Amino acid sequence: NAGVMQNPRHLVRRRGQEARLRCSPMKGHSHVYWYRQLPEEGLKFMVYLQKENIIDESGMPKERFSAEFPKEGPSILRIQQVVRGDSAAYFCASSPTTRQGNEKLFFGSGTQLSVL
């Protein structure tokens, strides 16, 4: 009965390096969402994906950030050439269908990214 699995839990990168964050949704869930929580802030929507499709990436920074959810394997959030301002907690959530009404998102424990 595994929930949403994110790895790594903690990731340390130096400025200019790449960060790859992984998310395996709950079994049977085909919708994945990434949220970012900056220090002292609430969670902010980044991107919504279904298998092999990006549905809404309106919350993603236009440069350096990309996300994918391949047919096989976990969803990946990729940050190229990280800067200190990317330091945050990145949460993945999944749902069985598009969230409507009483659907609730199930969140993973997050990846804490620290950029030195």
Partner 1 sequence: DQQVKQNSPSLSVQEGRISILNCDYTNSMFDYFLWYKKYPAEGPTFLISISSIKDKNEDGRFTVFLNKSAKHLSLHIVPSQPGDSAVYFCAASATRGGSNYKLTFGKGTLLTVNP
Residues that bind partner 1 (CB under 8 A): 4, 6, 9, 31, 33, 35, 40-45, 48, 55-56, 58-59, 91, 93, 95, 98-102, 104-110
The three-class DSSP label of residue 64 is coil
CB of 60 to partner 1, least distance (A): 13
Spatial separation of the C-alpha atoms in residues 103 and 115, rounded to whole Å: 35
The token pair at 30 is 């085909």
Closest CA to 50 of 30, 67, 33: 30
CB of 14 to partner 1, least distance (A): 24
CB of 89 to partner 1, least distance (A): 9
Residue 17 or 105: the one with the smaller Cβ distance to partner 1 is 105
Residue 18 or 56: the one with the smaller Cβ distance to partner 1 is 56
